[in-house]
A and B are shown apart, each in its own frame.
Chain A
Amino acid sequence: MDRTKLASDLRDAGYLADDRTVLVSALSIELGKPVLVEGPAGVGKTELAKALAKVTDRELVRLQCYEGLDEARALYEWNYRAQLLRIQAAQGDGWDGLRDDLFAEEFLLERPLLRAIRSERPVVLLVDEIDKADQEFEALLLELLSDFQVSIPELGTVHAASRPLVLLTSNAARELTEALKRRCLFLTLDYPSPERERDILLEHVPELPEAIAFRIAEVAAKIRELDLRKPPAISETIDWAHSLLLIGADSIDSAVLRETLPVVLKHRTDLDLVADRAAQLLGEPIGKGSR
């Protein structure tokens, strides 16, 4: 897999990847291994999956994890209603005739995981926020991730028709099991450097002047250094850029910062903290910017 090409393709898909991300993505495609992407919320973990789907021209199948996620929601479920109807409609038929029908493909509801491996065309499977799911659910993933197959008692083992490209994302809210981690390549994403964030901003808000974009990135990086409950995500700085453009601000001073802060920060305590330090946050870069 040509990495420079992958990088430029990702860029065309609107995702500015750093070298490491490109490398691990390329390795994942090459080796057919799932990637475990870890990092704070809002550094573009999910976006990476979307961009990879675009680049490889595959459908993105997304499974959002949450506490209590189970087989029925993630893998497959029998369509009980349809099965009941089938039973009713078959009044009079013997059980023998019915039995074979009842667990036919017709009554199988595909959930994301099953869909991902049964798809004729290869897909990108995104298992989002795996750390939110229970540990039992991870066990369910193991078979899928290493052999790309799923055992369904009534149907037998379903082998992957095509090999999906799998990404798992985690905010490191809890430790994942060793077994799961062993099956994956590991990629940590962190907040981007101001230069990269500037490029990202320009990519998403093309009409933004470059100087402002860099300034936003710089201030955002400073804000992230503070001890906040929820540091601003990249998507939030993009929103910020949009709103600065909307109010027609041509520089960031304390007043503008205070007005537009709620776009970036969503906690009261965070807002207070940053508002307090506004001058300090902006102070030094102004001097730098004037040269």
Chain B
Amino acid sequence: MVVRGNAGSLPGGMEGLLLELASALRSAEVPVGSGELLDASRALGAISWDDEPTVREALAATLTKTAEHRERFLALWEEVLRHATLRAALDAQRAADPSMGEGGLPGEAQGDADGQGGSGESSGEGQPGGEGDRGGPGGEGSSSAMDLDELSRAVQSALSEGSGMGSGALRDLVRLAIDAAKQQESGVVGVDVQRIRRMLGINRGGQSMEELSDTAVREFTEMLRRELEEQRTMRTGEMPPQRALQQLGRDLSFGQTTDEAAVLKAIHALRRELAVAGHSRRGPRSGPVDLRRTIRASLGTGGVPVDIVPVRQHPKRPQLVALCDVSTSVSSSAVFFLTVISALADAFARLRTWAFIEVADEVTELCLQAQTAQELGRRITKEAKVADVTGYTDYGRVFKQLALDLEDVVDHRTTLIVLGDARTNGRDPGIGAFASLCSRAGRTLWLNPEPELYWDYGDSESARYAKWCEMHRCATASDLAGLARLLTSPGR
């Protein structure tokens, strides 16, 4: 709608959108200079704003200069556009009703959101304004006598037919689902998304997952999130926070070869940082005198010790023990984990690594031999004994085994690093064994690939583990940057 003709409906007009876009791009590490912005606004002057794809492509051509940046632009575009549209809708609502309390009449607000929603998604629905579709889905939503099973079936069949079907029909289903879940609404969008997905049986681990393609599920989740956010915004009058690129396309960070390059770059930086870590924290030149070297140095001055040489202090390097979950539930991050491990193996001579799924097996040797993370992954599945029956992670069994196996390995000088998603698949989490491991180790870090929002949801036992260790999110190249600091910092 923003781009459909009247830029005046946007605060700051098209420039506002452009600047918002630029700042979003900059925060996604796409360099956008004022030169690019000038080009972009000139390009906007040269085209008509009737057609969203045209505007998008004109901006993409002027603002981005590599294929990777273009991808990021496309990932951000919808979000920024939607944000701008939402703000415009909110302003319009405020203008219409200056008091704008909670009274904001759910029905009314929703109707408004409906109208505005169309443009964020696809410009296919050609309603001239927000009025046209107010009656349809809104009315249907209120009379939702649709039975939950029926709804779940309808959504699943809509999803399995693929995204080819008009997004309008799916959107109606999404609204029905939101209405059905209204009683239990928590107010936190991420939680509600999960709840509704579960309610409809569209969840990881559900039987329906095999039939549904990942993209369909992702699209649905995305739509659900948007719808919830829009409704919430119109109700409360607060703009949702703008999401960073990582949350928009989680697979973006290491799906493609280019992204692998980003990870490798971060690893490279990590290596450098680890190599010098500890050196900078050396104290002033004081402490015990190295007698031998002081006398050596004094020979030049006829035996008068002019230069007092203190005993050399070696930087403290912790002894690392890494435990890495290589099961399929973390398969997207397993390669990432293994890349981290192989970087650590380079930097720390005293790193021992155990890989685990249902059973743990030491893979220190393999880590040293394998050249790449992919090769390491292949060799672990082939040569190490990590899986037993089901191939699902069994933390309880692994921790119990490790508590015995690592008896002589882990002591107070050891830093224990666990890489895993803390999803127990409903099995015993083995908290006791984990706690005894942690208490023996000097320090325990848990690197979890999931965003914090998902911790403790479903079969995740993050909080119970986190009681015994420091749990950090680590899934993207940028998270890695913090890891070096984490590893060499004194800890709690």
Interface residues of A (CB under 8 A from B): 1, 19-20, 23-24, 26-27, 30-31, 33, 35-36, 38, 172, 175, 178, 181-182, 184-188
Contact = CB atoms under 8 A, between A and B. Distances in A.
Nearest to B60: A186
A54 B209 CA distance: 52
Nearest to A27: B43
Interface in B159-216: none
Nearest to B258: A172
Contacts of B46: 1, 26-27, 30-31
| Residue with the greatest number of chain A CB neighbours at <10 A, chosen from B33, B60, B70 | B60
A132 B58 CA distance: 27
Binding site secondary structure of chain B? helix
11 contacts: A19-B54, A19-B57, A27-B47, A27-B61, A31-B43, A38-B67, A182-B33, A185-B62, A186-B64, A187-B61, A188-B67
A38 B60 CA distance: 14
B427 interface: no
Interface in B236-286: none
B39 A186 contact: no
Interface in B13-57: 31, 33, 35-36, 39, 42-43, 46-47, 53-54, 57
B153 interface: no
Contacts of A184: 65
A33 B46 CA distance: 13
A36 B60 CA distance: 13
Contacts, number: 59
A176 to B, nearest CB: 8
A171 to B, nearest CB: 11
Nearest to A39: B67
A115 B57 CA distance: 32
Given A19-B57, A23-B57, A186-B60, A36 B65 contact: yes
Nearest to B44: A27
A8 to B, nearest CB: 17
A184 B69 CA distance: 14
B70 A185 contact: no
Contact of B66 (A1, A19, A30, A181): A181
B374 to A, nearest CB: 13
Nearest to A187: B61
B66 A23 contact: no
Interface string B50-88: 000110011011101111001000000000000000000
Interface in B96-125: none
Contact of A33 (B33, B39, B54, B57): B39
Contacts of B33: 182
Contacts of B60: 186
Given A27-B46, A31-B42, A31-B43, A182 B61 contact: no
A31 B61 contact: no
A181 B66 CA distance: 8
A181 B65 contact: yes
Chain B contact-residue range equals 20 to 34
Contacts of B53: 19
Contacts of A30: 43, 46
A1 B54 CA distance: 14
Interface string B423-435: 0000000000000
A24 B65 contact: no
A46 B61 CA distance: 18
B31 A178 contact: yes
B58 A23 contact: yes
Contacts of B47: 23, 26-27
A172 B65 contact: no
Nearest to B71: A188
A193 to B, nearest CB: 14
Contacts of B39: 31, 33, 185
A72 to B, nearest CB: 29
A188 B70 contact: yes
B359 to A, nearest CB: 33
Given A23-B61, A185-B43, 19 more contacts: A1-B46, A23-B54, A26-B46, A27-B46, A27-B47, A30-B46, A31-B39, A31-B42, A31-B46, A172-B67, A181-B66, A182-B65, A184-B65, A185-B39, A185-B62, A186-B60, A186-B61, A188-B67, A188-B70
A27 B64 CA distance: 15
Contacts of A185: 39, 43, 61-62
B260 to A, nearest CB: 15
Contacts of B58: 23-24, 27
B303 to A, nearest CB: 58
The 10 closest A-B pairs by CB, nearest first: A181-B65, A30-B46, A185-B61, A24-B61, A186-B65, A20-B57, A23-B57, A27-B43, A188-B67, A31-B42
A265 B323 CA distance: 45
A260 B31 CA distance: 46
A204 B454 CA distance: 54
Contacts of B36: 182
B483 to A, nearest CB: 26
Nearest to B46: A30
Contacts of B61: 20, 23-24, 27, 35, 185-187
| Residue with the greatest number of chain A CB neighbours at <10 A, chosen from B33, B35, B43, B61 | B61
Nearest to B69: A186
B190 to A, nearest CB: 33
A48 B427 CA distance: 60
Nearest to A183: B35
A195 to B, nearest CB: 15
Nearest to A180: B65
B26 to A, nearest CB: 14
B35 A186 contact: no
A227 to B, nearest CB: 12
Nearest to B31: A178
A19 B56 CA distance: 12
A172 to B, nearest CB: 7
Nearest to A182: B35
A185 B64 CA distance: 8
Contacts of B54: 19, 23
Nearest to A35: B61
Contacts of A36: 65
A184 B70 CA distance: 14
